[in-house]
């Protein structure tokens, strides 16, 4: 487990990412702050449309018009990521921060052998020989559970099954041993058993090698099993955050309580919560969750609760849970 006193490897402060659409401005990410320390595995959860992918893409410099980061600071290992050019960002990917997208087919080149795709990534950062690239690729494919990796390296993307393609994409993302991996629902769309096999493999690997990860997922079981910390997003904001061992046992926010109560069968989306996420164009007054909350009382529809620290590393934004910082302020 990561050491509590170390500086975060990744630090996001007051991030606002908006999409300018003909219907209005979508406040997809609305003032979030969090950090990820070296070696820490962090789960990012919340219903569909809550801003998880936009958060991941903002960190990775992948927000494109009509979207833009309107405000906020994102630092990785002391580097201000918002000041990087696309080229500098590409340089950072692979060894610094690497990305595992949801759709492996979009990440693989259909006309290059898999071997060549590994080599391109390795050679963008090192001067490894062809043989060294081959050996590194082979070893990495074995680590993600691919048997007969020689055959895979010599083949093309279209020869792979969905599960195999996702393993290959992960192996390419991990081959240079990045310090931080950002994965956005990396196994969605695959058979449930295969999803779990792949995640088991990758999470164990990252844990062993003390890599940090931000895992965007709907699978709370995976978060419970592998992540050190969990961040819960709702309507573009963080509503709860803390160590998995605490949040899953005693969730502070009614939204987290509802999510945990609605834990779906593995691999299924969270569907059984009453009501819907509010429009991110006309952001509601008060707490964004108030009209779905069983515990809502007078202030909830009028005043937005601040995200307060309940205990070290534990935060919640709810009028019912008074944080130590708020109490101290009195």
Ligand X SMILES: Nc1ncnc2c1ncn2[C@@H]1O[C@H](COP(=O)(O)OP(=O)(O)OP(=O)(O)O)[C@@H](O)[C@H]1O
* Contact residues for 64 (Cβ-Cβ < 8 A; gap 6+): none
Which of these ranges, 44-52, 130-138, 237-245, 295-303, lies near ligand X under the rule CB under 6 A? 44-52
Q: Is 17 in the site for Mg ion (CB under 5 A)?
A: no
Judged by CB under 6 A, the chain residues 137 through 196 that form the site for ligand X are: none
CA dihedral 143, 146, 149, 154 (to 10 degrees): -120
Give the single-character DSSP code of 228: S
Contact (Cβ atoms closer than 8 angstroms) between residue 39 and residue 228: no
Cα separation, 230 vs 241, whole angstroms: 6
Minimum distance, C-beta of residue 164 to ligand X, in the bound complex (Å): 23
Minimum distance, C-beta of residue 254 to Mg ion, in the bound complex (Å): 23
Minimum distance, C-beta of residue 102 to ligand X, in the bound complex (Å): 8
**E-only strand ranges, 137-236:** 180-184, 212-216, 229-234
Residue 19 binds: one of Mg ion, ligand X, none (C-beta under 5 to 8 A by kind): ligand X
Q: Is the dihedral of CA 181, 185, 189, 194 positive or negative?
A: positive
Token representation of residue 287: 């707490």
Q: Judged by CB under 6 A, which of 2, 9, 15, 19 binds ligand X?
A: 19
Residue 51 binds: one of Mg ion, ligand X, none (C-beta under 5 to 8 A by kind): ligand X
User: Considering only CA atoms, which of 44, 65, 75 is closest in space to residue 219?
Assistant: 44
Contact (Cβ atoms closer than 8 angstroms) between residue 105 and residue 48: no
Cα separation, 135 vs 141, whole angstroms: 10
Which of these ranges, 12-20, 53-61, 70-78, 158-166, lies near Mg ion under the rule CB under 5 A? 53-61
Judged by CB under 6 A, the chain residues 56 through 75 that form the site for ligand X are: 66-67
Q: Is 316 in the site for Mg ion (CB under 5 A)?
A: no
* C-alpha to C-alpha distances, 318 to 134, 152, 197, 274, 305, nearest whole angstrom: 53, 50, 36, 18, 5
Minimum distance, C-beta of residue 6 to ligand X, in the bound complex (Å): 28
Q: Is 53 in the site for Mg ion (CB under 5 A)?
A: yes
Residue 48 binds: one of Mg ion, ligand X, none (C-beta under 5 to 8 A by kind): ligand X
Minimum distance, C-beta of residue 314 to ligand X, in the bound complex (Å): 22
Task: Considering the complex, state which of residue 117 and residue 217 has its C-beta at the smaller distance from ligand X.
Answer: 217
**Residues within the interface to ligand X (CB under 6 A):** 19, 21, 26, 28, 46, 48-54, 66-67, 280
**Residues within the interface to Mg ion (CB under 5 A):** 53
């Amino acid at each position: 487990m990561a050491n509590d006193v170390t500086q975060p490897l990744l630090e996001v402060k007051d991030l606002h990412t908006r999409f300018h659409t003909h219907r209005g401005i979508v406040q997809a990410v609305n003032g979030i702050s969090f950090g990820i320390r070296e070696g820490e595995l962090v789960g990012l959860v919340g219903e569909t449309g809550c801003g998880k992918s936009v958060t991941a893409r903002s960190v990775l410099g992948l927000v494109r018009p009509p979207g833009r980061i309107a405000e906020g600071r994102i630092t990785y290992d002391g580097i201000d990521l918002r000041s990087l050019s696309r080229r500098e960002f590409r340089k950072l990917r692979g060894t610094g921060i690497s990305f595992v997208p949801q759709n492996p087919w979009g990440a693989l080149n259909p006309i290059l052998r898999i071997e060549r795709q590994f080599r391109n990534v390795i050679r963008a950062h090192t001067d490894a020989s062809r043989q060294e690239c081959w050996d590194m690729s082979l070893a990495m494919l074995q680590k993600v559970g691919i048997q007969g990796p020689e055959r895979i390296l010599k083949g093309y993307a279209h020869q792979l099954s969905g599960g195999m393609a996702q393993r290959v994409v992960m192996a390419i993302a991990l081959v240079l041993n990045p310090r931080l991996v950002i994965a956005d629902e990396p196994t969605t769309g695959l058979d449930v058993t295969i999803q779990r096999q792949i995640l088991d493999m990758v999470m164990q690997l990252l844990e062993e090698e003390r890599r940090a990860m931000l895992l965007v997922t709907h699978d709370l079981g995976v978060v419970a099993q592998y992540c050190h910390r969990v961040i819960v997003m709702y309507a573009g904001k963080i509503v709860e955050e803390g160590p998995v061992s605490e949040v899953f046992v005693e969730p502070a926010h009614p939204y987290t309580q509802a999510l945990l109560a609605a834990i779906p069968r593995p691999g299924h989306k969270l569907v059984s919560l009453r009501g819907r996420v509010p429009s991110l164009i006309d952001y509601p007054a008060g707490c964004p969750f108030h009209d779905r909350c069983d515990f809502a009382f007078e202030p909830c529809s009028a005043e937005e609760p601040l995200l307060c620290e309940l205990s070290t590393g534990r935060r919640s934004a709810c009028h019912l849970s008074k944080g130590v910082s708020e109490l101290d302020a009195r």
